[in-house]
Amino acid sequence: MSNFFQRSSYIQWVRDLVAAMEGQPGAVGLFDATMDEPLDLLRETAERVLSEPGQPRLRSVMGAGNPLVLGALADRYGVGREQILCTTGALSGVSLVLKALVRRGDHVLIERPHLDTLVELAAGQGADIGYIERSADDGAFDLDQVQDALRPNTRLLLITNLHNPSGALLSEADLGRLAEVAARGRTRIVVDEVYADYVHRLSGGRPAACISDVFVSINSLSKVYGLSSLKCGWVVADARTIKEIAPAHTLHEFGMSKLTHALASLVLEDDAPFTKAVRSVLGEAHPLVEAWARALREEGLIAGAVPAAGCMYFPRLPHVGDTRKFTAWLWREYAIAAAPGELFQSPGHIRIGFGRRADRLAPVLQRVAEALRIYCGALA
C-alpha cells in the first residue's frame, strides 16, 4: 500500500516507508540524504575499542558526555569542553535547546522550506512560530525579511546548513551577516549542521558556533559519516548558553550509549578513514547525478542544479504538480522511494539522496528517469 504518501509528518512517513520496505525485497530508498553506513570501518573501530586492555574508552556518558568525545570535539571546534554537550543525535540537540531557551508564548522563527520536525518540536514548547523564506535559487535569506520578522520576544531562529531539503550552503559570510541582524535583539540562531561536514571536514570552513556567540551549532555523526548506529550528536555554543541548556540536558538526555560513544570518540579523534570513504563515494556519485540531472533538464523533466556539496538533490518536476501522487506511483510501480516535496512545503519537488556507490546508484537513477518519462508522457 502507498497511502502513507499522504502523511503530513516526515518522520511518520519515514516510519511507514521503512516498514513497507521490509516487506518488499528489492525496494530502494532514494529519499534518505545520508551516506551509506561504512560497515567495514565501523567493525574495525568496534574491534579497536573492545580489544584495548581495560577498554579505557568505555567511559561514563553521565554529565556532559564521554570525556574523550568532549575532548575530540573541543579540539575540532577550538573551544573549551565547557562549551559542549553530547546528545543522542542532532534532533535531540534541537529539542534540548528548545526546552531550555523557549517558554510558552516566546516567538521562534523557522526557515521555510523546512523539515517539519523543527516545527513540531517548537510547537511542543508552546512557541509562537513564524517563518522566513529561503530563496528557491540559492537558499539565501533576505536579511530585510529577517529583520522585519524579528520581535522583542524572538528567542530563536532555527535553520539548517546545508539546507534540508535543498542542500544549499550558507557561506561563512552569509552566516556572519545573519548573525549581525540577530545580534540587534536577544535572538540566538540554532544551526542544525548535520550536513555541514560535507563542507567543513571535506573542503574547509568553520561551524557557525565558531563565527559568533549568537550561534548554537548542532551536529552528529549520522549523515555525513553514515554512522547513525552510533547515535552520537552534540551541541556547541558559548559557555553562558551551554549553562542555560545544561539543566534540560540533565533532565531529558537519557539515550546516550556508553558503548557507541566510546566508538564515536575514536571516529572523532581520527576521522581520516571515514572522510576518505565519503570522498570516494561522492567522487563517483556526484558526477553521475549531475550527468543524469543534466540529461533530464534538457528533456524538460526536471529543473534545478545539483548542489555542489553533499548528497541531497531537490529538483522541481515542471510537469508534476502533485508529487505525493507521483512518488506513491513511483513506489507502487518501481519500488523506489523518493520524498515528495509536500513534506517540505514544496509541492512539485522531490528529494532524493545519492550517498552510495555508482554501481548501486546508476541503475536506480535510470529507473527514475524511465518512470518520469512514462508518468509525464501520460500527463501530456
The 10s digit of each residue's pLDDT in 127-153 is 999 999 999 888 999 999 999 999 999
Q: What is the pLDDT of residues 243-298, one digit of tens each?
A: 999 999 999 999 999 999 999 999 999 999 999 999 999 999 999 999 999 999 99
Is residue 289 located within the same domain as residue 183?
A: no
Q: Which residues contact 84 (CB under 8 A, 6 or more apart)?
A: 64, 65, 70, 73, 74, 77, 234, 235, 236, 242
Same domain, 254 and 374: no
Q: Is the residue at 351 inside a domain?
A: yes
Q: Which of 223, 240, 201 is nearest to 73 (CA)?
A: 201
Q: Are residues 291 and 175 in the same domain?
A: no
User: 250 with 278, same domain?
Assistant: no
> Does residue 108 sit within a domain?
yes
Within this chain, do residues 336 and 320 fall inside the same structural domain, yes or no? Answer: yes
CATH of the domain at 317: 3.90.1150.10
Kindly state whether residues 309 and 327 are assigned to the same domain.
yes
> Does 45 reside within a domain?
no
Q: Are 82 and 65 in contact (CB under 8 A)?
A: no
- Residue 103 in any domain: the answer is yes
Read off φ and ψ for residue 217, nearest 5 degrees: -90, 135
**Model confidence pLDDT, tens digit, residues 76-126:** 999 999 999 999 999 999 999 999 999 999 999 999 999 999 999 999 999
Residue 365 within a domain: yes
Reduced to 3 states (helix: H, G, I; strand: E, B; else coil), residue 213 is: coil
pLDDT in tens, 335-347: 999 999 999 999 9
Closest CA to 340 of 364, 320, 324: 324
Amino acid at 218: I
Given strand 339-340, what is the order of strands in its sheet? 312-313, 350-353, 339-340
Q: Identify the CATH number of the domain in which residue 124 sits.
A: 3.40.640.10
225 and 83 in a common domain: yes
Beta strands in 169-277 (DSSP E): 188-192, 215-220, 233-236
50 within domain boundaries: no
Do 297 and 240 belong together in one domain?
no
DSSP string, 283-309: HHHHHHHHHHHHHHHHTTS-BSPPPSS
Cell 552569509 identifies what position?
A: 174
Residue matched to cell numbers 546508484? 361
In this structure, are 83 and 140 located in the same domain?
A: yes
Residues 262 and 352 in one domain: no
Count Cβ atoms below 10 Å from residue 289 Cβ, excluding itself: 21
How confident is the model over 225-253, as a mean pLDDT?
Answer: 97
C-alpha span between 169 and 343 (Å, rounded): 21
- Exposure string (b/e) for 326-348, b if CB count within 10 Å is 16 or more? bbbbbbeebbbbbbbbbbbebbb
Question: Rounded to the nearest 5°, which phi and psi values hold at 177?
Answer: -65, -40
Q: Name the grid cell of 9.
A: 509528518
- Report pLDDT digits (tens) over 165-205: 999 999 999 999 999 999 888 899 999 999 999 999 988 88
pLDDT tens, 10-59? 999 999 999 999 988 899 999 988 999 999 999 999 999 999 999 999 99
Domain final residue pick, 270, 290, 316: 270
Say yes or no: 326 and 263 in one domain.
Answer: no
The domain total for the chain is 2
Does residue 125 fall inside a structural domain? yes
The conformational region for residue 215 under phi > 0 = left, psi -120 to 50 = alpha, else beta, is beta
Average pLDDT, the chain: 95
- Determine the structural domain holding residue 235 and report its residue range: 55-270
Q: Does residue 324 sit within a domain?
A: yes
Q: Which of 236, 270, 304 is the last residue of a domain?
A: 270
pLDDT of residue 64: 95
Q: Examine the domain organization and report whether 261 and 305 are in the same domain.
A: no
